[in-house]
Structure formats: structure tokens, C-alpha cells
Amino acid sequence: MKPFTVRLRFRHDLDFFLGSKAGEPIIERRLAEKTSVKDVIESCGVPHPEVDLILADGQAVGFDHTLAGDAQVEVFPVENRDTTGTKKRLQATAIYRFVADGHLGRLTRDLRLLGFDVAYGQSADDQQLLELMARENRALLTRDRRLLMHAIVEHGYCPRSQNAVEQTIEVIRRFNLLEFIAPFTRCLRCNAPLEEAAKAEIIDNLEPLTKIFYDQFCRCHGCKQIYWPGSHFSKLQKRIEEIRSRLRTEA
């Protein structure tokens, strides 16, 4: 087969993945055999769950589109649906269940604080993460782009920032979660839903001062941890307010 050249242009924040090639408008790939557009895109460092629209010579195509001759390929991330019309989209936006890798503990805690279902195992290995993701139909959150490129991954996201609040904002935007924020409905420790608990039922588990000063309690359905609006509560509320206000102002 005659060698051919594919020229790829990565739009918007996808240049985050290009490493030393970031800032270069066009990346060229010389190929000598038929190759799927997905493989060519991932060879540039961009994981497929980050790709929402591919235009091959102006035509919207799927990941399995085969390149066999010279082509211009434009690659778009999930944002930006407004400006590129109603062309074929490759990613679902409405996903409400996640699994986070062991490095994203603070992001996990923030998302749970806002009421989102995030499975997390600090010491889970890649295989365990992928199995949980597939079994429970969760989107994978990881900064490990090789893991995100695994063929089994359907939905996922690589937080760009290393800061937990910024990562939380990114995930809320990427998966359109804003209107589903429900603070203090999920256990920060184990991810199970919280339920209201009558004081009389749990009073034996409370510290003496907590017994005196508080009357409203929630209990985790899973690990039985008890929550009440004590001093830690106002810290958490501040964090929620910071995230909310940044979501409003940085829209």
C-alpha cells in the first residue's frame, strides 16, 4: 500500500494531551497501512473518551472509520456543542455514576459532598477499576491517559487541573451535573446514601457535647457513620459555596 499522510488538528482543550506538541496547530502522521481514526488519534496522546466529534475531510465519522489515504482530521472535545451544530456525537453527556482512580481522593470527596455517586478504592488496581466501571456502567475518572485509552472504556474523563476544586468543576461541566447537585445526601467515607436518623435511635453513639447541642442527624445507609451540623459542617458548606460560586462566575 502506498504510504499516505494524515493531518490532525485537535480543537479547544484537547491540546492538553499533546505534550511537547502542544501549541502546534497540525500534527502529521505518515501511515503505510489502513488504520482506524481512533488509533491515529490515540497515537497522538488523546484518549478516545475525550473525543466527541471527528471530522474526516469535513465529514463526521465514528471511531472505527478507516483511514486509507491522505486525509485532514479535525478532533473536538465534549464542550463546544453549540458551535459545531448537530453533527454525529461520540460521547454521552448524561452520566451520573463514576469510578475514580486512587489518586483522586479529594475529587471523590468533593463529588460525594455534592451528592454524586463516586466509587473509589484507594488501593484498587487498574483491572479492578475497569471491572467496576464496566459492571456498574460508571464513567472512569483518572489522570492516567493510558488507562483512559483502554479499549473497554466507554465513558471517562481526565481532569486537567491538579487542584481538587477545579477538578470538581471540570467534572460537573463535562457531565452536565449542575442541576443535580444535592449536598449532604451521600456518605463522604463510603459513598452510600444518607438517611435521616432520629436522635433517640443513635444517642448511644454520640459524644456528650454532641448529645447536648444537636438535634438533627443523618446516618449512612452503608457504614452507619453519623453526620450532624457540627463545626466540620460549616467548613464543608464553605467548600460547596466556593464550588457553586465558581460554577456560576466561570460559566
Please state, in angstroms and rounded to a whole number, the distance separating the CA atoms of residues 170 and 238.
19
Q: Which is nearer to Zn ion, 29 or 109 (CB)?
A: 109
Cα dist. 95→74, 106, 112, 118 in Å?
Answer: 25, 20, 15, 11
* Closest separation in Å from C-beta 98 to Zn ion: 17
H helices present in the chain, as ranges: 37-43, 105-113, 126-135, 145-148, 164-174, 199-202, 208-213, 231-249
Q: How far apart are the first and last CA of the chain?
A: 49
The one among 187, 197, 240, 243 contacting Zn ion by CB under 5 A:
187
Phi-psi region of 110 (alpha: psi -120 to 50; beta: other; left: phi over 0): alpha
Q: Hey, what's the torsion of the CAs at 98, 103, 104, 108, to 10 degrees?
A: 70
Contacting range for Zn ion; rule: CB under 5 A; set: 25-33, 50-58, 62-70, 181-189: 181-189
Closest approach of Zn ion to the CB of residue 138, in Å: 18
Residue 193 touches Zn ion, criterion: CB under 5 A: no
60-79 residues near Zn ion, rule: CB under 5 A: none
Cell of 231: 463545626
By beta-carbon proximity to Zn ion, the closer residue of 236 and 247 is: 236
Computed on alpha carbons and rounded to an integer, the radius of gyration of the chain in Å comes to 22
Smallest distance, Zn ion to C-beta of residue 197, A: 13
Which residue stretch of 112-120, 162-170, 192-200, 228-236 sits at the interface with Zn ion (rule: CB under 5 A)? 192-200
Provide, rounded to whole angstroms, the least separation between the CB of residue 218 and Zn ion: 10
Helices 231-249 and 164-174 pack at an angle, to 10 degrees, of 50
Query: Among residues 84 and 225, whose Cβ is nearest to Zn ion?
Result: 225
Which range in 54-62, 66-74, 174-182, 189-197 contacts Zn ion by CB under 5 A?
189-197
Shortest Å, Cβ 182 to Zn ion: 16
189 binds Zn ion, rule: CB under 5 A: yes
Q: Which helix (H) or strand (E) covers residue 93, if one does? A: none
Closer by beta carbon to Zn ion, 225 or else 237: 225
Using CB under 5 A, which residues numbered 199 to 228 contact Zn ion?
220, 222-223, 225
Residue 118 beta carbon to Zn ion: minimum distance, rounded to whole angstroms? 13
The C-alpha cell 471530522 sits at 55
Task: Rule CB under 5 A: say whether 190 interacts with Zn ion.
Answer: yes
Distance separating alpha carbons of residues 133 and 99, to the nearest angstrom: 6
List residues binding Zn ion (CB under 5 A).
187, 189-190, 192, 220, 222-223, 225
